[in-house]
Amino acid sequence: MDYLSLLNPSQAAAVMQIDGPCMIIAGAGSGKTRVLTYRIANLLEQGVDPFNILALTFTNKAAKEMRARIEKVVGGAAAKNLWMGTFHSIFARILRSEADKIGFPRSFTIYDTQDSKTLISQILKELELDDKLYKPGMVLGRISAAKNKLISVQQYLNDPVIRQDDEAALRPKIGVIYQQYANRCFKAGAMDFDDLLYQTNVLFKDHPDVLNKYQNLFRFVMVDEYQDTNYSQYLIARKLAAKERNICVVGDDAQSIYAFRGADIQNILNFEKDYPELQVFKLEQNYRSTKTIVKAANSVIKNNQAQLRKDVFSDNEEGPLIEVLKAASDNEEGKLVANSIFEDKMSHHLSYDDFAILYRTNAQSRAMEESLRKLNIRYKIVGGLSFYQRKEIKDLVAYLRLTVNPNDEQALRRVINYPKRGIGDTTIAKLINAAEESNHTIWEVVANADQFLPTRTANPIVDFAEKIKAYTAVAAKEDAFEAAKFIAKNSGMIEELYADKSIEGLSRYENIQELLNGVKAYTEDPEREDKTLGAFLQDIALVTDADTKDAQQEGEAVTMMTIHSAKGLEFRNVYIVGMEENLFPSQMMITSRADLEEERRLFYVAITRAEKKLTLSYATSRYQWGNLRSCEKSRFLDEIDPQFVDFKFAATPSAGPGESPFGHVFERRSNLLPTPARKTVAKGYTPPADFQPSDTSNLQTGQRVEHPKFGFGHVTKLETVSGSTKAIIEFEEVGEKTLLLSFAKLRVL
Ligand code: ATP
Ligand code: MG
């Protein structure tokens, strides 16, 4: 295939360069990812063995798309054997064959963020530390930042600057928590997401022979979205390329949006120092967007001081002006956006796939969803609560994890008494104590419970351990599907869920079936070599936010996602919603210039996703925690050169806070008025097909909720009487209801 004709001269030059280090720093939509793709195709055509090429992408989805494209150019077989994927998935795979060298089992578990937070909460309890001061998410953030800078526990504990920092923040114990956390993960044979990179660095540092092996394997290393790599990733790439020095990185400093996760713009500057013989390519022509969109994006990013100067231009059509929609409330904003999508689709004969709604935070999707549903517009949400975060799925996955790695402490705690088998919290606490005191893992204590506990208490625990041992034996013989099916049945989970005949129970049961379908598809995929349960678990542990899109049902639909997940993607028509101060830029990001500049880069990323038409919207009032707040439009709106903007004002009459999202106006109840006759079911409300109740243990007054019968409402009061909590909820359509939280099927919004 003559792909050179599909490239401009600078792109072609970057594709043809083969030997030595190379960096492509270029603007959004200028074909960076396209160049990487054809570079790989070119290497393959030159006879390079696909096993010798390592290409690191930002999402699994990006890797999949790149592989498909390469397959078209050079044919199937070669493309399949490329090492292509995210940093996390590639190095998880490498660790799976090398982990024993650093003391981890090859069948190590990957802890997700929730596992990590739960473990930190447990450690806080054991250390008798206040979890209000040491918020688990914040502590995990500190530990994560340390790991991404390759700061070991010992270094953390001994570094006077870090100690001063933590002491000044009145949190002197973070080092100790980090130490405990690392120990517990190690004992449980578990790694969290940051460990996948951290431990790879440990492996390469302590085992030069292993590093040498991979240096010889990966003769060509390529990294997309290089501006968002952190130090840990930078070092892995540098070490792997140290011998052959065939490394090519691609990025755009104007799109660096992950500093909060440790991404470091210095990595671009370091790159020039590391490889003085570096060839640099600049691409300035944007092929994605209209002239209007490109010029508007340039006018915004100009406001950043810390920026390499680039002149991005487009030869595409001028295109329509950027529309700005102003709404009186968040509900009305949803309506305006939904109407606009509907009209554009009809008048330009588009598909809903052509549209994306981007927002700063996941929570904003709700008002949009209501409006889209009202107009019967199909949508899919990327990120948010994914399939694998649902309770029943996590439960079954915990069984599967235990089967592969019985030391997995978080999985063990999750299912040791689920379905109920009479193992109480006190007994579990005793087991943990016994493990700590005897320096065994919890599993070792569980498997020998009769030695630690009186027979009557020990019996159900021993039975549980026998079950898990039996599962491990099955998993050693059978493929992932057979093993998972056996475990789902034998554990009693299927029976338990089947017995629950409520709508929610049914959907949980179906979710388990869906998971088993997924395992089956995995084992039947001819491209999978390793069909074991362990391999399947690794695969699902690494599903990223941006990947969940593919898991949704078929059919054309508007895509909704955060701007962070939209990186690298493109859509014909893009809506950026919630253009308000304190929302975008986020309240947390306006106190320093560096933060504000990161926020502005995020806006730049959002604008440059659009091909033909861009629409921005904001509301002058918005519900937050049940209260109506007035909002000011975002400063970013004023930064766009006004010649590219068409300010539209609310087309529909202003919708007050009392207006139902379902079109008809109703009276908001006031305490001074007599209670109106209650409706028992919200007539204008249809629950979404995928309605999932969520965990209400942290429910707070003011929070917005959804109920499959009563519709939307907000919590006005919470009362706990003899252990059970009642919530008084003001539903928008049916008025006030008092619900017992342990029974109510509520979705917290
Ligand atoms: P981002 O910064 O958003 O990641 P990028 O620089 O990686 O963007 P690509 O996604 O590779 O850009 O390309 C943007 C769009 O322009 C794609 O649709 C791509 O197919 C198209 N494109 C790139 N180069 C050319 C070209 N030479 N001729 C025609 N179309 C091109
Ligand atoms: Mg790209």
DSSP-assigned states of every residue in 436-501: HHHT--HHHHHHTHHHHS-HHHHHHHHHHHHHHHHHHHHHHHS-HHHHHHHHHHHTTHHHHHHH--
Would you say how long the chain is, in residues?
749
Ligand number, closest to the Cα atom of 312: 1
Q: Which residues define the annotated binding site for ATP?
A: 26-33
Distance 234 CA to ligand 2 centre (A): 18
From 112, 115, 225, 597, the catalytic residue: 225
Does 84 sit in the ligand 1 pocket, CB within 6 Å? Answer: no
pLDDT of residue 648: 66
**In this structure, which residue's CA is closest to atom 31 in ligand 1?**
287
Please give the number of the atom of ligand 1 that sits closest to the Cα of 608: 3
Ligand number, closest to the Cα atom of 28: 1
Distance 143 CA to ligand 1 centre (A): 37
3 state DSSP class of 108: coil
Confidence label for 382 from pLDDT (cuts 50, 70 and 90): confident
pLDDT > 60? residue 578:
yes
From 255, 403, 457, 692, the catalytic residue: 255
pLDDT of residue 688: 75
Ligand number, closest to the Cα atom of 30: 1
Does 32 sit in the ligand 1 pocket, CB within 6 Å? Answer: yes
Does 738 sit in the ligand 1 pocket, CB within 6 Å? Answer: no
The tokens for 47 are 């006879």
Does 568 sit in the ligand 1 pocket, CB within 6 Å? Answer: yes
Does 88 sit in the ligand 1 pocket, CB within 6 Å? Answer: no
What span, in angstroms and rounded, lies between the C-alpha atoms of 595 and 583? 14
Confidence label for 722 from pLDDT (cuts 50, 70 and 90): low
What span, in angstroms and rounded, lies between the C-alpha atoms of 530 and 536? 8
Ligand number, closest to the Cα atom of 35: 1
Please state the rounded mean pLDDT for residues 407-416.
94
pLDDT > 90? residue 502:
no
Residue 394: CB partners within 8 Å, gap ≥ 6? 114, 388, 414
Which residue bears the tokens 């789902």?
A: 488
Residue 75: CB partners within 8 Å, gap ≥ 6? none
Q: What are φ and ψ of residue 8, in 5° steps? A: -85, 170
Based on the residue annotation, tell me whether 609 is a catalytic residue of this protein: yes
3 state DSSP class of 427: helix
Query: Taking all residues of the chain, what is their mean pLDDT, rounded to a whole number?
Result: 87
What torsion do the CA atoms of 589, 546, 145, 246 make, to the nearest 10 degrees?
A: -120
From 61, 219, 335, 609, the catalytic residue: 609
The neighbouring-strand residues paired with 324 are: 616, 647
pLDDT > 90? residue 738:
no
Distance 38 CA to ligand 2 centre (A): 13
pLDDT > 80? residue 120:
yes
Residue 323 CA to chain centroid, in angstroms? 30
The per-residue pLDDT for range 240-288, each reduced to its tens digit, is 999 999 999 999 988 888 887 777 778 887 888 899 999 999 999 999 9
Ligand number, closest to the Cα atom of 29: 1
DSSP string, 726-747: EEEEEETTTEEEEEETTT---E
Distance 285 CA to ligand 1 centre (A): 9
Does this model's pTM top 0.90? Answer: no
pLDDT of residue 24: 94
pLDDT of residue 696: 84
Q: Do the Cβ atoms of 607 and 594 come closer than 8 Å?
A: no
**In this structure, which residue's CA is closest to atom 3 in ligand 1?**
568
Residue 404: CB partners within 8 Å, gap ≥ 6? 107, 109, 472, 475, 533, 534, 537
Q: Do the Cβ atoms of 54 and 222 come closer than 8 Å?
A: yes
Does 30 sit in the ligand 1 pocket, CB within 6 Å? Answer: yes
pLDDT > 90? residue 446:
yes
pLDDT of residue 664: 28
Please state the rounded mean pLDDT for residues 333-340.
95
Distance 360 CA to ligand 2 centre (A): 20
Does 34 sit in the ligand 1 pocket, CB within 6 Å? Answer: yes
Distance 31 CA to ligand 2 centre (A): 7
pLDDT > 90? residue 48:
yes
Does 612 sit in the ligand 1 pocket, CB within 6 Å? Answer: no
Does 33 sit in the ligand 1 pocket, CB within 6 Å? Answer: yes
Does 253 sit in the ligand 1 pocket, CB within 6 Å? Answer: no
pLDDT of residue 259: 80
Please give the number of the atom of ligand 1 that sits closest to the Cα of 37: 11
Helix axis angle, 480-490 to 503-524, nearest 10°: 160
Which of 2, 23, 30 has most ligand 1 atoms within 8 Å of its beta carbon, as the pocket-test mutant?
30
**In this structure, which residue's CA is closest to atom 2 in ligand 1?**
28
Based on the residue annotation, tell me whether 67 is a catalytic residue of this protein: no
Q: What are φ and ψ of residue 126, in 5° steps? A: -65, -35
Q: Which residues define the annotated binding site?
A: 26-33
Does 600 sit in the ligand 1 pocket, CB within 6 Å? Answer: no
pLDDT of residue 183: 95
Read off the DSSP letter of residue 341.
H
**In this structure, which residue's CA is closest to atom 13 in ligand 1?**
31
- The percentage of residues in the chain with a pLDDT greater than 70, rounded to a whole number, is 91
Distance 250 CA to ligand 2 centre (A): 8
Q: 276, exposed or middle or buried, with CB in 10 Å at 0-12, 13-18, 19+?
A: exposed
What span, in angstroms and rounded, lies between the C-alpha atoms of 654 and 670? 21
The highest-confidence range among 28-37, 62-71, 681-690, by mean pLDDT, is 28-37
pLDDT of residue 675: 32
From 11, 32, 264, 538, the catalytic residue: 32
Does 518 sit in the ligand 1 pocket, CB within 6 Å? Answer: no
Based on the residue annotation, tell me whether 32 is a catalytic residue of this protein: yes
pLDDT > 70? residue 662:
no
pLDDT > 90? residue 555:
no
Distance 28 CA to ligand 2 centre (A): 7
Q: Which amino acid is at 532?
A: T
Q: Which of 184-193, 473-482, 709-718 has the lowest mean pLDDT?
A: 709-718
Based on the residue annotation, tell me whether 360 is a catalytic residue of this protein: no
What span, in angstroms and rounded, lies between the C-alpha atoms of 431 and 443? 9
Q: What are φ and ψ of residue 609, in 5° steps? A: -80, -20
Please state the rounded mean pLDDT for residues 444-471.
92
CA distances from 220 to 14, 43, 278, 482 (A): 14, 9, 15, 39
Residue 549: CB partners within 8 Å, gap ≥ 6? 61, 380, 382, 559, 561
Distance 605 CA to ligand 2 centre (A): 11
pLDDT > 50? residue 403:
yes
Please state the rounded mean pLDDT for residues 66-77.
87
Based on the residue annotation, tell me whether 545 is a catalytic residue of this protein: no
The per-residue pLDDT for range 618-656, each reduced to its tens digit, is 999 987 665 678 999 999 999 999 999 987 654 444 433
pLDDT > 50? residue 677:
no
Q: Phi-psi bin for 20: left (phi > 0), alpha (psi -120 to 50), beta?
A: left
The per-residue pLDDT for range 187-207, each reduced to its tens digit, is 999 999 999 999 999 999 999
